[in-house]
Amino acid sequence: MRILGIETSCDETGIALYDTSPWESKKPAHQGLLGQALHSQVAMHEVYGGVVPELASRDHIRRILPLLQETLSQAKMGVQDVDAIAFTQGPGLAGALLVGASVAKGLALGLNKPIIGVHHLEGHLLSPLLAENFLQETGENIFPFIALLVSGGHTQLMLVKDVGEYQLLGETLDDAAGEAFDKTAKLLGLSYPGGPAVSALAKSGHPGQFKLPRPMKHSKDLDFSFAGLKTAVLTQTKLLPNLDANEQAQFKANLACDFVEAVVDVLTSKTLKALDETGCHRLVIAGGVGANEQLRASLQKAADESGRKKGSQKFTVHYPPLNLCTDNGAMIAFAGALRALKNPELLLKDYSFDVKPRWPLSSL
């Protein structure tokens, strides 16, 4: 089955065509990716310091059909070669979701093909399976695994028992990790999106200059909270006007460094707790913040050291390919494909409109 994936939930328009035959014959998942195209709206939203929903929707309208053409020409195929369509049904910006849904439904209706609505986070959650070395590293027993989902809108720890079987173990009670990065970037005068900018600046900072809080690090549950950390950064930035330009630059780098360290510390410690409590041997990281170098280094170090101490169990850590960490069409095509293979009745010729801007993953 060749399934077209359409992603328009926020500020990236992503299209991909995925062929399920390699996966069905137990070959690595990435071999099924026939073509993909992406347009990021980051430059357009940058001047406003964040995503402007109305501009996002309009830009999706402009980009979506050329990206579809590009995907099909990479795959050397036409629309008639598409067997089914997967689109991001939610969660996300209502207007942006509607663009993807309209194109997906219109195309499916015109082609008389079935369609499946995909949960955006399920796309992120399954995207590490698209990494070239995933099967090599894990063997065929992919499930269960712990997923740390860290994006602009979500910070969640999930127990993934199988495709479509997700148990929420913990989540943020206020800001998401990506949101904390973006807000800190604003406070430090860095560009949007904040994650990569803060992460880069942190590298020239000296650690340990600020005593930033580690909210909920020692709480008994697996929940997170990042709002207090952002407030602590805000409090420190009030000292900036007392410094000269050089001092300001170093102060900001030091603050970025301690901020990243605090976020990484809390994410690592809660993730290890989730692995420990569930007895899982595999961890996958998904979502935009999963591209963060410092987080990757910290989790890799924990994985390398796991199993050495008495009572600690060995685990491995897996990521999506770097270009699939942030939003893209490939993860939506792939999640739709795995869903449809497992539950073919989910592929429907139902062309009515239904997007879900708010949609808890655990309700799937």
Binding site for ligand KG4 (CB under 6 A): 10, 151-153, 178, 181-182, 193-196, 199, 287-289, 291-292, 326-327
Binding site for Zn ion (CB under 5 A): 151, 327
Both tokens assigned to 198: 């803060």
Task: Name the minimum Å distance from CB 302 to Zn ion.
Answer: 24
Q: With respect to ligand KG4, which residue has the nearer C-beta, 5 or 195?
A: 195
Both tokens assigned to 361: 């993953």
Q: With respect to ligand KG4, which residue has the nearer C-beta, 258 or 327?
A: 327
HEC secondary structure over 312-361: CCCCEEECCCHHHCCCCHHHHHHHHHHHHHHCHHHCECCCCCCCCCCCCH
CB of 313 closer than 8 Å to CB of 351: no
Task: Name the minimum Å distance from CB 34 to ligand KG4.
Answer: 23
Residues 6+ apart with CB under 8 A from 304: none
Select from 127, 154, 164, 85 the least CA-distant residue to 347: 85
Q: With respect to ligand KG4, which residue has the nearer C-beta, 75 or 126?
A: 126
Q: With respect to ligand KG4, which residue has the nearer C-beta, 236 or 294?
A: 294
CB of 332 closer than 8 Å to CB of 6: yes
Task: Name the minimum Å distance from CB 334 to Zn ion.
Answer: 14
Name which of Zn ion, ligand KG4, none residue 292 binds, using a CB cut-off of 5 to 8 Å depending on partner kind: ligand KG4
Q: Give the phi and the psi of residue 359 in degrees, each rounded to 5.
A: -160, 100
Both tokens assigned to 196: 């990569």
Name which of Zn ion, ligand KG4, none residue 289 binds, using a CB cut-off of 5 to 8 Å depending on partner kind: ligand KG4
How do beta strands 145-150 and 282-286 pair? parallel
Task: Name the minimum Å distance from CB 262 to Zn ion.
Answer: 23
Q: With respect to ligand KG4, which residue has the nearer C-beta, 20 or 151?
A: 151
Pairwise CA distance, residues 329 & 356, whole Å: 18
Name which of Zn ion, ligand KG4, none residue 114 binds, using a CB cut-off of 5 to 8 Å depending on partner kind: none
Name which of Zn ion, ligand KG4, none residue 182 binds, using a CB cut-off of 5 to 8 Å depending on partner kind: ligand KG4
Task: Name the minimum Å distance from CB 35 to ligand KG4.
Answer: 21
Paired residues of 17 in beta bridges:
4, 35
Q: With respect to Zn ion, which residue has the nearer C-beta, 33 or 51?
A: 51
Q: How many DSSP H helices and E strands does the chain contain?
A: 12, 10
Overall residue count recorded for the chain in this entry: 364
Pairwise CA distance, residues 317 & 303, whole Å: 7
Q: With respect to Zn ion, which residue has the nearer C-beta, 59 or 261?
A: 59
Task: Name the minimum Å distance from CB 27 to ligand KG4.
Answer: 27
Task: Name the minimum Å distance from CB 252 to ligand KG4.
Answer: 16
The torsion region of residue 189 among left (phi > 0), alpha (psi -120 to 50) and beta comes to left
